[in-house]
Amino acid sequence: MRELDGYRAVMRRIADAAEKRKSDGHVQDEENDLQSTRVTDNSSLNACTEENSRINRYAVYDNRQDACATDTSCMTTCVANDSCSNIQCRQMYAHIREAEAEAEKTVRVEATVEGGVTRSMSFSEKTELYVRATGERTGLVYTEKLDADPRETVLQAYENGQLGETAEEMNTSDCRGALGTPCREYSAAELNAFAASLERELTEGCPRADRAEVRASQLISRIGVVNSRGADISGQAGRFDVTVRIPLKDDPMKSYEETVTGQRLEEIRAPYFLAQHREWEQTVLPETAAFEPGTYRTVLGSQAVNFILTTAWQLFSGKRVADGTSPLSGRLGQKVFADGITIRDYKENGYPFVIDAEGTLCRDVPLVENGVFVGCMQNLASAKLFRELGTGGAADRVSTVDWMNQCVSTGNAGRRALLSGNIHTDMTIVPKNFVLEEGDQTLEELIRACGDGIYICESYDQFHSLNVVTGDFHFPCRGVRIRDGRLAECLYGLTMNGNVLTLFADVLALGKGRRIEPMAIYENYLVSGPAMLVRKLEISG
Amino acid sequence: MPENATYARVLEYAAGLGAEFAELFVEDREETNIPMAQGRLLGVKSLRIYGAGLHLINGRQRVYVYTNDTSEESLLRLARRGVEMLAEKKRAAAAGLVLEEHIFHNPCPVVRYPGEVQAAEKIRMLRLADTAARSAGPAVRSLSLSYFDTDQRVVIANTEGLLARDRRVTTRVRISPVVENEKGTYGSMGEYTRAQGFESFRDTGAYEEAARDAVCSADRILRADTVKPCVVPVVVAAGEGTLWHESCGHSLEATAIASGSSAFVGKLGMQVASPKVTLIDDGTLAGQYGSSAIDDEGHPRQRNVLIENGVLKGYLCDRYHGRLIGMESSGSGRRQNYTYAPASRMSNTFLAEGDDDEEEMIRSVAEGLYVKRIGGGYGGSQFALAVQEGYWIKNGQLDRQVKNLTLTGSGIDVISRIDRVGRRMKLEGGSFCGAVSGLVPTTTPQPMCRISEMAIG
């Protein structure tokens, strides 16, 4: 990636310096030199804690810088010049053991048509840079200022790391090359024409609607990773997202809404939305007068299942499973869900992914196979945690081969896992296309099989309703009473209460077809599941 | 950041190509994040958010384009691209756009800008909060803390000749403990949030108390009882105004009104709530998280009375959605950053003080729920709010703590059932509201109030 050009030279220099130190045996000398300085300074500052010594050491660097650097520019130039006369600067750079720059570039074009009129259009092009450097510990700089000097940025990351206490994993593979398929960039006019045509078809195809809103967008994303360990890799992927909203003519506060994604715009067609809309219309019925809270045999619609998956995917985070903050901790290899429940995280089958934020190739990850918990989503750090745990730790029922599979990154490193008011900088675990596999029952068959119960057709508040440590959930929702295998009256203001482990253990049948639910706002991953019939679920309201 | 002359040239160029209205939003924001987990410092993270967005409006169509290459050449390219997307071009505007800089006072003064404070000092503060949380009493299984500061500088210029600047500084500590006792394990979150510089940590006791409270609250929740879903009177504590934000705030935003998805459409001047309800959104409140000098369209923030004595008085409008419903901006055009087009959003949204006695509010309830703290929620025509800390009221007294409860209902229905509003307003630190233009800082202060009956479950 062009945005990483400036960083390649810096990474090479750091790699060369590290190599040279190794061969010269200088590392220990410099460490000793710094150690003696630290002790002296600590005593003078009367500092006693481990942290203070680190902070003071940082101050030592600052002091040296002030004392000796007549030209502060050498603080950056000597990254590429180890003959700099400023010995303190040389020492500082000599202590950057490894560094990495990751660039995430997105180009997005979007058009929104409503009621036959183009409402809005947008275009954006943005590159984000995450730069990490490790001396003894790892520091990070995130910048959108593309003209920032790469050497200064690496140095700042290194300095940030000096105050930390942890060293992060970086990709050690010498993976190289540009992967992925080049995508043709659509013009806004093309997307607008598509949206207008789809909007017309939908309005004509829905007798109870007089307008629809269609938002069509193309997103081309590219990730590049270059580091001092030899990785220099980039991956590109493109996709189209189409979101449709169709309000009822006589009650516009009630509307059908769904997003569909595809790698070709032509794949996204009106008949699918029309069929889904017809299904949705069946749930808009007169409200019932009374509802008795209790435990019901329940059909969960695909949207309601997705809202649970939106946060429940965290149960399969390798980090959580390893550190005991997932209810699945220690249960690898065990039967945890009902027969027929299979969950996988796909590199395609929705959004396309090529490499993750650490430069690891993305792959399909089996998580639950026929009810058995078989794997986790891993990044480099969580895979290391698993290696350290050993098979006697979190999982005592898995084979060595299965265990070894957990000890490598699955290409699930990312930064935007959940909503937060800040730029996401922590390298964490993020799903790609987190899919609960479908079954073979139509929704009608599930409702008939339910007999007497409730169909939860819509739920709300996907981000606040599940405690990922325990798996307990309380989702606000609306539903339809099922009587004699048929939809009867509408129920508003419900809450479904339960635990994810119990819920999926109680699944009796899975529906055919899956909706998708993109991660709100960031749209950087999606979850997807079918409707399902569960033996019992507590419903209040 | 680009120079003023660049803004004028880009805007003039967009207008010349056929944009009826063009606005540039340029942002340069520096942030620091210092996370800590299990007592270990995870490093210092420096962030720089930098870029520009161009908002074009012709009639009822809008175009939004953005980039983080703010060179003049790039911005001119962006302007051309944006205008090309407009379905209809307006007659070319006269050349010679003059930008007149307007000075607006930011209601959140800053004493110590975060960038002027050494990282070591921030770390020391975090350590104190960590110690306070661990020594709160309950067994802490894991504890994560994170320090954040933000220093956002924005410049907004438009083809009406406006040039406005604002600088918004906030500081925050998030405390995320996982607590365990004989009842099990529970993860919760507490925040200490201020629209101030680092001086917000001068009062050591305040943030240490927030850290201790996050742990103790989680411990209490674990020990709480459950209650069966029912319909009862609900008393909501002072300072817990999220109820208003979710039950009707979002429905009063012009984005919801323009799309026809709000229960308040066509009800201006009508009685929509109990006469005890006066609902205000005020982005000018001094020192509040939702306040700033100007909104993200350069409009000065203002006090907007939305409902007065139960009568609907107005909506929250940004320029574009206001235009769709025939109303002027109310200084409510907000966005997370330059990557979002502005939309109408809340700021500090609160129920005005009433004249009811707070103690009587509970004393007169035979059986009901007292909500001391509200967690996250969901808004719209139907809303849902998690009760983070709730107590069962029996015979006019708090009987026991209860858990796993959600308040649900239809906003317009619930606000008609307000039968008591207390006298004492209580402010709160604030948090983020997520919607169409991203996450924006908001607060939800309120006096204690009571809903005559409501579904809990």
For residue B147, report the phi and psi dihedrals to the nearest 5 degrees. Answer: -100, 135
Nearest to A164 among B43, B184, B262 (CB): B43
**Tens digit of each residue's pLDDT (9 = 90 or more) over A199-230:** 999 999 999 898 999 999 999 999 999 999 98
Instruction: Tell me what pLDDT residue B220 has.
Output: 93
B384: confidence class by pLDDT, cuts 50, 70, 90: confident
Nearest to B229 among A164, A423, A540 (CB): A540
- Asked whether residue B228 carries a pLDDT value surpassing 90, the answer given is no
> Closest Cα partner for B99 from B27, B26, B161, B23?
B161
**Tens digit of each residue's pLDDT (9 = 90 or more) over B423-457:** 999 999 999 898 889 889 999 999 999 999 998 87
Best CATH choice for the domain B114-152+167-223 from the list 3.30.200, 3.30.160, 1.10.3430, 3.40.50:
3.30.160
A389: confidence class by pLDDT, cuts 50, 70, 90: confident
| Structure-token match 């399909």, residue found | A364
Instruction: Tell me what pLDDT residue A520 has.
Output: 76
For helices B72-85 and B4-17, the axis angle rounded to 10 degrees is 30
Question: What CATH number is given for B4-102 in this structure?
Answer: 3.30.2290.10
Minimum mean pLDDT among A77-81, A486-490, B44-48: which range?
A: A77-81
B43: confidence class by pLDDT, cuts 50, 70, 90: confident
Which three-class secondary structure state does DSSP give residue B234?
A: strand
A50 or A275: which leads in pLDDT? A275
Instruction: Tell me what pLDDT residue A48 has.
Output: 31
Ranges assigned E (strand) in B59-199: 61-67, 100-102, 139-158, 162-181, 184-187, 190-194
Q: Is A164 on the interface with B (CB under 8 A)?
A: yes
Instruction: Tell me what pLDDT residue A312 has.
Output: 94
Q: Is A541 on the interface with B (CB under 8 A)?
A: yes
Instruction: Tell me what pLDDT residue A253 has.
Output: 80
A51: confidence class by pLDDT, cuts 50, 70, 90: very low
Minimum mean pLDDT among A175-189, A282-296, B66-80: which range?
A: A282-296
Could you give the angle at the alpha carbon of A275 between the alpha carbons of A269 and A276, nearest 5°?
95
Measured on CA atoms in the order A88, A94, A98, A104, is the torsion positive or negative? positive
Minimum mean pLDDT among B13-17, B31-35, B376-380: which range?
A: B376-380
A76 or B238: which leads in pLDDT? B238
Chain B neighbors of A470, CB-CB under 8 A: 184-187
DSSP single-letter state for residue B91: P
| Amino acid code (one letter) for B57 | I
CB within 8 A of A388, min separation 6: which ones?
none
Global pTM?
0.85
CB pairs under 8 A between A and B: 213
Query: Which neighbouring-strand residues pair with A413?
Result: A429
- Asked whether residue A511 carries a pLDDT value surpassing 50, the answer given is yes
**Side-chain-side CA neighbours of residue B53 (13 Å):** 23
Give A343 to chain B, closest Cα distance, Å. Answer: 25
- Asked whether residue A278 carries a pLDDT value surpassing 80, the answer given is yes
Q: Is A127 on the interface with B (CB under 8 A)?
A: yes
CATH 3.20.20.80 fits A101-281, yes or no: no
Segments in A240-373 forming alpha helices (H): 270-281, 302-312, 318-323
> Closest Cα partner for A128 from A116, A155, A146, A114?
A146
Per cent of chain B over pLDDT 70 is: 99
Rg (alpha carbons) of chain A, rounded to whole number: 27
Query: Which neighbouring-strand residues pair with A5?
Result: none
- Asked whether residue B143 carries a pLDDT value surpassing 80, the answer given is yes
CB within 8 A of A68, min separation 6: which ones?
A86, A87, A88
Mutate to test the interface with A, among B406, B412, B451 (most CBs of A within 10 A): B406
Contact predicate A458/B384, CB 8 Å: no
Chain A neighbors of B179, CB-CB under 8 A: none
A1: confidence class by pLDDT, cuts 50, 70, 90: confident
| Structure-token match 């998956």, residue found | A309
Pairing of strands A232-247, A176-180: parallel
Instruction: Tell me what pLDDT residue B359 has.
Output: 96
B414: confidence class by pLDDT, cuts 50, 70, 90: very high
Instruction: Tell me what pLDDT residue A392 has.
Output: 53
Instruction: Tell me what pLDDT residue A83 has.
Output: 55
CB-based contact B185 A469, cutoff 8 Å: yes
CB-based contact B378 A460, cutoff 8 Å: yes
CB within 8 A of B90, min separation 6: which ones?
B18, B19, B20, B58
DSSP single-letter state for residue A450: H
Domain boundaries, chain B: 4-102, 114-152+167-223, 230-456
B92: confidence class by pLDDT, cuts 50, 70, 90: low
Instruction: Tell me what pLDDT residue B146 has.
Output: 94
> Closest Cα partner for B418 from B454, B393, B389, B387?
B454
- Give the Cα separation of B351 and A149 in Å (integer): 50
Instruction: Tell me what pLDDT residue A22 has.
Output: 77
ipTM for the complex? 0.84
Chain A neighbors of B31, CB-CB under 8 A: 422-423
Instruction: Tell me what pLDDT residue B179 has.
Output: 93
**Tens digit of each residue's pLDDT (9 = 90 or more) over A229-255:** 989 999 999 999 999 999 998 888 889
Burial class (CB in 10 A: 0-12, 13-18, 19+), A515: buried
CB-based contact A127 B68, cutoff 8 Å: yes
**Tens digit of each residue's pLDDT (9 = 90 or more) over B288-309:** 999 999 999 999 999 999 999 9
**Tens digit of each residue's pLDDT (9 = 90 or more) over A356-379:** 999 999 999 999 999 999 999 999
State the span(s) of chain A assigned CATH 3.30.2290.10.
101-281
Per cent of chain A over pLDDT 90 is: 55
B32: confidence class by pLDDT, cuts 50, 70, 90: very high
Could you give the angle at the alpha carbon of A346 between the alpha carbons of A522 and B435, nearest 5°?
15
Residue A372, Cβ neighbours under 10 Å: how many? 20
Chain B neighbors of A463, CB-CB under 8 A: 376
- Asked whether residue A470 carries a pLDDT value surpassing 60, the answer given is yes
A406: confidence class by pLDDT, cuts 50, 70, 90: confident
For A164, nearest residue in chain B (alpha carbons): B43
**Tens digit of each residue's pLDDT (9 = 90 or more) over B253-300:** 999 999 888 999 999 999 999 999 999 999 999 999 999 999 999 999
DSSP single-letter state for residue B278: -
Can you read off the two tokens belonging to residue B159?
């083809």
Domain B114-152+167-223 in the same topology as domain B4-102: no
A42: confidence class by pLDDT, cuts 50, 70, 90: very low
**Tens digit of each residue's pLDDT (9 = 90 or more) over A55-99:** 333 333 333 333 333 344 444 445 445 555 555 555 566 789 999
- Give the Cα separation of B110 and B112 in Å (integer): 6
Instruction: Tell me what pLDDT residue B390 has.
Output: 95
Determine which helix (DSSP H) or strand (DSSP E) holds B439, and give its type and residue range.
Answer: strand B438-442
